[in-house]
A and B are shown apart, each in its own frame.
Chain A
Amino acid sequence: MPLTLSATSVFSDAEFAEVALRKTIAIKVETMKRIFTYLLTGILLGGFLPASFAQDRGVTETIIRNATVLTITRGTLTNTDVLIRNGKIAGVARNLKAAANARVIDGTGKYIMPGIVDCHSHSMLDTINEGSLSVTSMARTRDVLNPNDIDLYRGLAGGVTTLNLLHGSANAIGGLNTVVKMKFGRPVEEFLFPGAMPGIKFALGENPKRSSFQPQPGQTRRYPATRMGVEEVIRDAFTRARDYQRTWAEHRAAVSRREKNLVTPRRDLQLEPLVEVLEGKRLVHAHCYRADEILMLINVANEFGFKIKTFQHTLEGYKVAKEIAQHGAGASIFADNWSYKIEAYDAIPYNAAIMTRAGVNVSMNSDSDERARRLNIEAAKAMRYGDLSEEEALKLITWNPAWQLGIQDRVGSIEVGKDADLAIWNGHPLSVYSRVDTTFIDGQIFFDRQQDLAKRADFERERAVLEAAEPNRPPAGGTSPRTPRGRRPTHDDDLGKGETGEVDHR
């Protein structure tokens, strides 16, 4: 369990920062005392939750025996063994041989599926939106990763292993993404998905035009305020990026001609990622709702000669499935989330099926730490609404999102040579009655229900000790200390429960 070390750490949102700062100064002396006590308690108790499930580094070989294996690409195999060696899948067949010291797991009656890939997440991001400008391609999610986010662990317990961490949707062109493996408990560097294609967030519609936001007093209204302006912002940015690309190309050409007295062009961190988009080296993940926005971005992309890799949310994708398929873009969507705002009024749960039938690569994403834990249910909804097959439904959360992130050669199916990122379920993962027993990343266990249950008594004892510690004792008046919650909102688009929902934050 990550400990709360200071008053500031309970506030993650910028709007709280000032309050937090004042509070911190006011109780500086007390805080130091508290930190000392916390640290001492922590050391005495030895170890927090993050370290708890990553202890099997020594294990190089694991065999899961006699399970039903949902390979995704090669059908469903019954009474089959899966052999994991050095973090990779080394065998998928009946009666495999394993080393004498291999960890053996009985998979009888269990199901193995690839680790779920969530193509739209804001987990472990300390902040989501750099909302000051309409083009923030210089901002990087990589700089704000918090590897101790407890919701990562909760996601692992839902069989998720890979996340596409996206910037928020406040800007027409947002910040850069980060693709991670959810190695909860490890240093942040180990999270980065090796070789994943870099990407960037775009956003269309209500969010970038800021129609639901009142500017703070003294703040000017941000451009754009219409869908016309959103298109113009993107075209303007790519026009500048194309110029910038030419400037560098001309410079390099001059250098190669060994011209004298050259002035190196000034680097532009805003335009560099857009040049990468133009050169096909960076994937575009575009938040969108309405059909017209989708067509707009396809037109802009065609004009500048780049490809959109995924439309995100794509609530009205079913209305323009043909055009999305023709462009070659994927769509990462929800089964729900209709009617919570105007531009979502036409969202339907048949979206996945209609687009799949039209030839679009479709994935189901969470965009929420909550939903991430039950993406299996979201996938099964595509069978309920639109009659996708079991295999098509499973692809929505495995192979398809892997393709959307350009990592389909590493994860997304159970095949020899692929990364051993998988989960053992106690029943068919498309059944609402099933849950995850064990989740592996690179062959190592990052969630195990039995271990989790076994540790609970220890955690309860630890909690009791911490609660009895001086800084945690209830203050005067009989009230309890504040829950260290202060988590950022669960969604970059405020999908709270109607008007009772949380603060809008994007």
Chain B
Amino acid sequence: MKAEFGMQNAECGMRGAPEGRKKVASGKRSAATGSQLPQAPRPEGARGLRTMTLMAFLVIASFCISAAAQQPGNPTTQSGVTPPRGVYVIANARIVTVSGPEIENGSIVIRDGKIVAVGMSVTTPAGAVTINARGLSVYPGMIDAGTALGLVEVGQGASGTVDTSEVGDLNPNAKAIVAVNPHSAHIAVTRVDGVTSAVSLPSGGLISGQGALINLVGTSPAEMAVVPYAALVINYPRTSAGGGPFGGAQVQTDLTEALAAANRQLEQIRKMLREAEAYGRAQDAYAKDKGLPRPAQNIVLESLVPYVRGERPVIFRADRETDMRGAIKFAEEMKLKPIILGGDDSWKIVGFLKEKNVPVILTGIWDLPVREDDFYDTLYENAAKLQQGGVRFAISTGDTGPNVRNLPFYAGMAAAFGLPKAEALKAVTLYPAQIMNVADRMGSIEIGKMANLVVTDGDLLETRTHIRHLFIDGRPVPLTSRHTELNDAFKNRR
């Protein structure tokens, strides 16, 4: 895989990229890049200044002024320039580390993309750009592990902008990282609300493809990728549609027939995974003994090998109890490393999930209860039930892109219905990082971790809170998006 994509994580990809490169693919800009924006007078004259020097100056200048002040207009949001890394200090802030105790008044030092110091008294390195964050709070950036960010621009009526579902049922080699559009308007809209990373997942057929864990900054998939091949996605075959975010509104015909069809589909998946196992064994054997017949290379089966060997997780989309049980049983049989995505009925099988130690990425907190006779708060409470039962879980919007920015409010709703606030915060930071095996790099504020940081004027999960500063991968990201630009263009029209 490494050789194929030329990177394993952001570190490699980023290091290779020239800091602050000009722009990428300027000739291919879609409507998403803001070319549709009216030529209304702009409040700031910065737009149109495209040279690196000026851009860097503006970004740095913005961090020299006080935390409460507005940042200057953004020359980078839509123009495709990644802000540079550097040495930054967020000073005098309340620091919510998530993994450790809260620091009432402390500072964070960021260098070359990483957090290098956190504490009540840290030494400010020479030449550092300091943000005075007095009265503000710093949180780790949020992570939504169940999106299709960058794969869908306009879901309806513009199928050319939708890249989630390949033709056919078995597409393990469809890789989200190949199709993630770094210039999608959704990326900036999402990050300015404090969601700094996301797992973007394909969704078609039975084996949908491979999801990518991306940072929401960068001008190429390589720059964005944290884990380019983060998980295989399997839509667990269902006997019944309806219910949960992935259910359709189909009419069920005959139950026996539906069950048989689902079993046939599962058999298709099983067969392909077995083939991949055999393929992996054959390749290994040949690597050891070149005297053996050389197995033909098959990139589809090759892409499955790390998953059938349990080296990388497999995300099963499943919401109903029977489907979740089925998926977990299947994963056991095939020795996969399962994650449940969806999980509407998880509250029914807390003990089972705990016993099997299978993590759940809940996407249905805001969904209507699945059954008419479910209690009104069944899905609001789902996270609390998992937490009480000791099940590993994370909270996700399950949204393709435009509404991923609501992630903090999903967690807030879970907290309104029984999930302790600190747990709700973990459910969108540390827990998704743990489930995606990147907790050594992100999900909390700790020395050595990637500097994905959100500076707020209040509780991160509260709707009324404003984001004041944003760092992703140690880069100061302007708080502008297609939305702020349209707002600026029209708010003073009289």
CB pair A497–B398 under 8 Å, yes or no, is yes
Q: A485 within 8 Å of B by Cβ?
A: yes
CB pair B483–A348 under 8 Å, yes or no, is yes
Q: In residues 445-486 of chain B, which contact A (Cβ within 8 Å)? A: 461-466, 482-484, 486
We find that the number of chain B residues with CB closer than 8 angstroms to chain A is: 73
Residues A354 and B157 in contact in the complex (CB < 8 Å), given A1-B373, A153-B376: no
Q: B203 within 8 Å of A by Cβ?
A: yes
Query: How many A-B contacts at CB < 8 Å in the complex?
Result: 195
A493 to chain B, nearest CB (A): 9
Residue of B with least CB distance to A15: B251
Stretch from A131-139, A268-276, A498-506 contacting the other chain:
A498-506
Q: A340 within 8 Å of B by Cβ?
A: yes
Residue of A with least CB distance to B369: A154
* A369, A477, A498, A503 interface centre (most CB from chain B within 10 Å): A498
CB pair B249–A339 under 8 Å, yes or no, is no
Q: B417 within 8 Å of A by Cβ?
A: yes
B404 to chain A, nearest CB (A): 11
Stretch from A103-111, A318-326, A415-423 contacting the other chain:
A318-326
CB pair A432–B400 under 8 Å, yes or no, is no
Q: What are the residues of chain B within 8 A of A292 when measuring CB–CB?
A: none
* B156, B412, B466 interface centre (most CB from chain A within 10 Å): B156
Select B464's contact among A19, A154, A383, beta carbons within 8 Å: A383
Select A498's contact among B155, B240, B493, beta carbons within 8 Å: B155
Map CB proximity to A onto B413-425 as digits: 1 under 8 Å, 0 otherwise: 1011100010000
Select A386's contact among B158, B185, B403, B487, beta carbons within 8 Å: B487
CB pair A340–B243 under 8 Å, yes or no, is no
Stretch from B9-17, B255-263, B289-297 contacting the other chain:
B255-263
Residues A339 and B154 in contact in the complex (CB < 8 Å), given A430-B463, A479-B256: yes
Q: A435 within 8 Å of B by Cβ?
A: yes
Interface of A (DSSP majority class): loop
* B242, B258, B398 interface centre (most CB from chain A within 10 Å): B242
Select B248's contact among A430, A476, A483, A502, beta carbons within 8 Å: A502
CB pair B373–A459 under 8 Å, yes or no, is yes
Residue of A with least CB distance to B363: A497
Q: A482 within 8 Å of B by Cβ?
A: yes
Q: What are the residues of chain B within 8 A of A431 when measuring CB–CB?
A: 462-464
Q: A494 within 8 Å of B by Cβ?
A: yes
* A211, A433, A504 interface centre (most CB from chain B within 10 Å): A433
CB pair B466–A384 under 8 Å, yes or no, is yes
Residue of A with least CB distance to B464: A383
Q: What are the residues of chain B within 8 A of A489 when measuring CB–CB?
A: 249
Map CB proximity to B onto A466-503 as digits: 1 under 8 Å, 0 otherwise: 00000000011111101111110110001001111111
Q: A231 within 8 Å of B by Cβ?
A: no
Q: What are the residues of chain A within 8 A of B158 when measuring CB–CB?
A: 341-342
Stretch from A165-173, A244-252, A300-308, A373-381 contacting the other chain:
A373-381
CB pair B157–A430 under 8 Å, yes or no, is no
Q: B148 within 8 Å of A by Cβ?
A: yes
Q: B494 within 8 Å of A by Cβ?
A: yes
Once bound together, how far apart are the Cα atoms of A269 and B249, in whole Å? Answer: 35
Residues A502 and B368 in contact in the complex (CB < 8 Å), given A154-B376, A430-B463: no
CB pair A498–B490 under 8 Å, yes or no, is no
CB pair A497–B400 under 8 Å, yes or no, is yes
CB pair B372–A503 under 8 Å, yes or no, is no
Interface of B (DSSP majority class): loop
B414 to chain A, nearest CB (A): 10
B65 to chain A, nearest CB (A): 19
CB pair B251–A318 under 8 Å, yes or no, is no
Q: In residues 144-194 of chain B, which contact A (Cβ within 8 Å)? A: 148, 152-158, 162, 164-165, 185-186
CB pair B464–A338 under 8 Å, yes or no, is no
Once bound together, how far apart are the Cα atoms of A456 and B186, in whole Å? Answer: 41
Q: What are the residues of chain A within 8 A of B228 when measuring CB–CB?
A: none
Q: A391 within 8 Å of B by Cβ?
A: no
Q: What are the residues of chain B within 8 A of A373 when measuring CB–CB?
A: 376
CB pair A339–B153 under 8 Å, yes or no, is yes
B180 to chain A, nearest CB (A): 15
B442 to chain A, nearest CB (A): 24
CB pair B251–A16 under 8 Å, yes or no, is yes
Q: What are the residues of chain B within 8 A of A480 when measuring CB–CB?
A: 322
A172 to chain B, nearest CB (A): 19
Select A342's contact among B154, B247, B372, beta carbons within 8 Å: B154
Q: In residues 306-358 of chain A, which contact B (Cβ within 8 Å)? A: 318-319, 321-322, 336-342, 345-346, 348-350, 353-354, 357-358
Q: B205 within 8 Å of A by Cβ?
A: no
Once bound together, how far apart are the Cα atoms of A337 and B189, in whole Å? Answer: 13
CB pair B366–A384 under 8 Å, yes or no, is no
Residue of A with least CB distance to B403: A336
Q: What are the residues of chain A within 8 A of B252 when measuring CB–CB?
A: 482
Q: A157 within 8 Å of B by Cβ?
A: yes
Select B186's contact among A339, A349, A463, beta carbons within 8 Å: A339
Once bound together, how far apart are the Cα atoms of A319 and B240, in whole Å? Answer: 45
Q: A212 within 8 Å of B by Cβ?
A: yes
CB pair B483–A350 under 8 Å, yes or no, is yes
CB pair B246–A477 under 8 Å, yes or no, is no
Once bound together, how far apart are the Cα atoms of A381 and B193, in whole Å? Answer: 11
Q: What are the residues of chain B within 8 A of A385 when measuring CB–CB?
A: 483, 487
Q: A370 within 8 Å of B by Cβ?
A: yes
CB pair B486–A348 under 8 Å, yes or no, is yes
CB pair B402–A432 under 8 Å, yes or no, is no
Q: What are the residues of chain A within 8 A of B416 when measuring CB–CB?
A: 432-435
Q: In residues 213-252 of chain B, which contact A (Cβ within 8 Å)? A: 239-240, 242-243, 245-249, 251-252
Residue of B with least CB distance to A211: B157
Residues A485 and B256 in contact in the complex (CB < 8 Å), given A339-B402, A350-B483: no
Once bound together, how far apart are the Cα atoms of A165 and B251, in whole Å? Answer: 27
CB pair A318–B401 under 8 Å, yes or no, is no
Q: What are the residues of chain B within 8 A of A319 when measuring CB–CB?
A: 490, 493
Q: In residues 95-154 of chain A, which contact B (Cβ within 8 Å)? A: 150-151, 153-154
Q: B112 within 8 Å of A by Cβ?
A: no
Once bound together, how far apart are the Cα atoms of A234 and B412, in whole Å? Answer: 44
CB pair A435–B157 under 8 Å, yes or no, is no
Select A485's contact among B243, B377, B409, beta carbons within 8 Å: B243
A178 to chain B, nearest CB (A): 22
CB pair A336–B490 under 8 Å, yes or no, is no
A56 to chain B, nearest CB (A): 19
Q: B19 within 8 Å of A by Cβ?
A: no
Q: In residues 318-367 of chain B, which contact A (Cβ within 8 Å)? A: 322, 366-367
Q: What are the residues of chain A within 8 A of B494 when measuring CB–CB?
A: 322, 358
Once bound together, how far apart are the Cα atoms of A456 and B409, in whole Å? Answer: 27
Once bound together, how far apart are the Cα atoms of A490 and B409, in whole Å? Answer: 20
Q: What are the residues of chain A within 8 A of B25 when measuring CB–CB?
A: none
Map CB proximity to B onto A271-295 as digits: 1 under 8 Å, 0 otherwise: 0000000000000000000000000
Once bound together, how far apart are the Cα atoms of A489 and B282, in whole Å? Answer: 50
B163 to chain A, nearest CB (A): 10
Q: What are the residues of chain B within 8 A of A430 when measuring CB–CB?
A: 463-464
Residue of A with least CB distance to B408: A432
Once bound together, how far apart are the Cα atoms of A2 and B409, in whole Å? Answer: 31
CB pair A340–B155 under 8 Å, yes or no, is yes
Once bound together, how far apart are the Cα atoms of A432 and B162, in whole Å? Answer: 32
Q: B491 within 8 Å of A by Cβ?
A: yes
CB pair B486–A346 under 8 Å, yes or no, is yes
CB pair A485–B372 under 8 Å, yes or no, is yes
Residues A502 and B413 in contact in the complex (CB < 8 Å), given A339-B402, A350-B483: no
Once bound together, how far apart are the Cα atoms of A359 and B415, in whole Å? Answer: 36
Beyond A1-B373, A354-B487, list 9 extra A-B contacts (CB 8 Å).
A151-B368, A153-B376, A318-B491, A340-B402, A348-B486, A349-B483, A476-B256, A477-B255, A497-B398
Binding site for B on A (CB under 8 A): 1-2, 11, 13, 16, 19, 150-151, 153-154, 157, 206, 211-212, 318-319, 321-322, 336-342, 345-346, 348-350, 353-354, 357-358, 369-370, 373-374, 377, 380-381, 383-386, 430-435, 452, 456, 459, 463, 475-480, 482-487, 489-490, 494, 497-504
Closest 5 CB pairs of A and B: A432-B412, A498-B400, A380-B463, A341-B156, A498-B155
